[in-house]
Amino acid sequence: MNPAEHTTSESRTLGLNRNKGEVIELRLRTDAYDGYRDYRTIRKTLCHELAHCVFGPHDRDFWNLTSQIEKEVERADWKSGGNQLSNQEFYNPGDWDNVQGGEQFDECGWTGGEFVLGGLQGDSNGGRSGNVASSGTLSRREIMARAAEERMKRESRARKQNDAK
């Protein structure tokens, strides 16, 4: 939902239910567009809009249903606990084999870790190669220029490989 369209001097609409649940709109962004609303606020708004699928006006039945939905959602929330399936403890040592030298590897080829854009390869931040400015990092302009150069080099190598075939 666009905050500008649903804010007046008297109200701030956080959710909208059209045609008894055919479309439910929620206002996720803050009024200043500088972030997102609190998760609990969005969740309560969704419960409110779901109750409108059954009851249109804000009467006692509506508020009772809203309260019931909120309680069910709270009970099912992952933070409120879980169900233990057995009394056994499980440990899979293979999980630790995927972590090597601060980088994580999975079976699909994904490599994770902490990297700093413009940092040096092999430095403590795990960045890539390049000359470092006097402050220890590259400027945005230098980073973008190097990225463009790297793309051009890769494209040139790929063209040469295709021409050789």
pLDDT tens-digit series, residues 116-140: 666 655 544 444 444 444 445 778 8
142 is catalytic: no
- pLDDT of the residue at 71: 92
12: β partners: 7
Beta carbons within 8 Å of 84's beta carbon, 6+ residues apart: none
Task: Convert 39-50 to b/e letters by CB count within 10 Å (16 or more is b).
Answer: eeebebbbbbbb
| Distance separating alpha carbons of residues 97 and 82, to the nearest angstrom | 28
Query: Choosing from 10, 22, 25, 49, which is the catalytic residue?
Result: 49
- pLDDT of the residue at 124: 46
- pLDDT of the residue at 90: 67
- pLDDT of the residue at 82: 63
Range picked from 60-69, 71-80, 89-98, 115-124 for highest mean pLDDT: 60-69
Could you tell me the two tokens for 3?
A: 């905050």
Band of residue 52 on the pLDDT scale cut at 50, 70, 90: very high
pTM, whole model, 2 decimals?
A: 0.47
Mean pLDDT of the chain: 77
- pLDDT of the residue at 102: 56
- pLDDT of the residue at 131: 45
When comparing pLDDT for 142 and 87, which is higher? 142
Beta carbons within 8 Å of 146's beta carbon, 6+ residues apart: 118, 130, 138
| Distance separating alpha carbons of residues 84 and 90, to the nearest angstrom | 12
